[in-house]
Amino acid sequence: MLKNAFAVGCGGFIGAAARYLFSVFVNRINTGNFPISTLIINILGSFLIGFLTQLFSSLYPSNKKLLLFLTTGILGGFTTFSTFSLETVNLYQSGNMLYAALNIIFSIVFCISGAFLGKMLAGIIANA
């Protein structure tokens, strides 16, 4: 278990650094207000996590540590949206359409609400 955690941690470092560098690069080109770098990162991460999990389950089913390094580690550090996307697709493909829909709705509503409430609370504390 410790080896798996180490693999995930090393991958997380790579993914987080890649997200930062990619955002810096895209934001030099993008001068608008829309967060295009985050959108591109989330789309790319979602594609890659789906691709890698399917590829590994078909071609390398016993190489769990490398899959953890790539998906939970690198892509988890690159974007946690990729994990949300994969879990939602897995729910849908396994016939749990209701849970897939609830995961989408709850994630959007509660995560955005959480970010909003967190900002409000920090504002209250900072201005107290």
Alpha-carbon distance of 17 to 32, in angstroms, equals: 23
pLDDT at position 11 is: 97
Alpha-carbon distance of 121 to 101, in angstroms, equals: 29
| Mean pLDDT score across all residues of the chain | 91
- 20: tokens are 């930062």
- For 42-69, how does the pLDDT look when each residue is reduced to its tens digit (9 = 90+)? 899 999 999 999 998 888 889 999 999 9
For the annotated binding site, the residues are 76, 79
Q: How many CB atoms lie within 10 A of CB 125?
A: 8
Write down the pTM of the prediction: 0.77
For the annotated binding site for Na(+), the residues are 76, 79
Alpha-carbon distance of 46 to 23, in angstroms, equals: 16
Q: How many CB atoms lie within 10 A of CB 79?
A: 24
**Percent of all residues in the chain with a pLDDT value above 70, rounded to a whole number:** 100
